[in-house]
């Protein structure tokens, strides 16, 4: 339990550190050095377009990250007569106790010390539980984080290709880049800044693929009307059309939430269902 609480503090700091390093490399190294063409007007220069795209992806990733933290799942235990003392907490530790059919997939999180409805999982990188209130922002956070990492990967490969005069036309060139760079670094033929960028390339690739896979997995569960907690516990879910399942999470104004970080896009639909 102590290790989990420590991870709950370290993981968000690690994400913010990686985001800051990515921002600095993109703005002060990749974009100014890679795209210099005097024949192109400044308004339509590749540097400006790539910079605008990166800022758009980063703003959405960071904005949805903040909204996931601020829009925490509601504590259902405050409005329910669940008893008093440690006995209640003990009953909720395994997530097996439910107040009734009106509260599906209700779960007590030991890290958040909250009883939440439609609990999906506890995200260590946000230090928060993912539930009905912040699921849409969490998916958008994963999506834009993946896109920002893959964009940084392409920009970094372009920078390394120009700095080391090498080509990535052969797919094996990227796989052999790290061991070849390590040998050059210890022999003094490679600068520390270039070695750092190469290490960041593999980190961006791993984070980008992980976030993309996690986002696709969450979307498949939403289409089926399930959460990860329900799948893990083997709970039976009432079959509904996939459009209703998507609308419950993303709301009718899904396009607005896709372009800019907004709060509770799907709340209007849930209020209508409750009425």
**CA atoms of 257 and 266, how far apart (whole Å):** 10
Closest C-alpha to 194, from 210, 170, 178, 211:
178
**CA atoms of 89 and 84, how far apart (whole Å):** 9
**CA atoms of 208 and 49, how far apart (whole Å):** 21
DSSP collapsed to 3 states, 189-252: CCCHHHHHHHHHHHHHHHHHHHHHHHHHHHHHHHHCCCCHHHHHHCCCCCCCCHHHHHHHHHCC
Handedness of CA 235, 238, 243, 247 (dihedral sign): negative
**CA atoms of 193 and 195, how far apart (whole Å):** 5
The token duo for 270 is: 């849930």
**Which residue is catalytic, options 123, 129, 149, 215?**
123
Closest C-alpha to 111, from 227, 3, 15:
3
Catalytic residue flag (residue 112): no
The token duo for 211 is: 């976030």
**CA atoms of 70 and 136, how far apart (whole Å):** 13
SS3 content of the chain, % helix, strand, coil (to 5): 65, 5, 30
Active site residues: 123
């Amino acid at each position: 339990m102590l290790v989990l609480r420590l991870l709950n503090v370290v993981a968000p700091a690690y994400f913010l550190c990686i985001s800051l390093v990515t921002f600095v490399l993109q703005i002060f190294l990749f974009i100014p050095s890679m795209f210099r063409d005097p024949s192109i007007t400044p308004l339509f220069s590749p540097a400006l377009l790539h910079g605008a795209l990166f800022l758009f992806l980063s703003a959405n990733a960071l904005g949805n990250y903040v909204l996931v933290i601020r829009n925490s799942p509601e504590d259902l235990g405050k409005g329910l007569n669940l008893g008093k003392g440690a006995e209640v907490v003990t009953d909720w530790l395994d997530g097996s106790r439910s107040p009734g059919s009106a509260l599906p997939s209700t779960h007590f999180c030991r890290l958040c010390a909250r009883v939440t409805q439609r609990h999906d999982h506890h995200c260590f990188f946000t230090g928060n539980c993912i539930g009905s209130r912040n699921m849409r922002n969490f998916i958008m956070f994963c999506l834009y984080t993946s896109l920002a990492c893959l964009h940084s990967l392409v920009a970094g490969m372009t920078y390394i290709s120009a700095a080391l005069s090498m080509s990535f036309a052969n797919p094996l060139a990227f796989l052999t880049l790290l061991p070849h760079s390590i040998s050059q670094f210890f022999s003094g033929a490679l600068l520390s800044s270039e070695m750092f960028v190469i290490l960041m390339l593999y980190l961006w690739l791993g984070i980008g693929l992980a976030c993309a896979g996690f986002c696709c997995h969450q979307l498949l569960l939403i289409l089926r009307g399930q959460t990860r907690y329900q799948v893990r516990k083997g709970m039976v879910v009432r079959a509904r059309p996939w459009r209703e399942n998507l609308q419950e999470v993303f709301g009718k104004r899904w396009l607005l939430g896709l372009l800019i970080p907004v709060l509770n896009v799907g709340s209007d639909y849930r209020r209508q269902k409750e009425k």
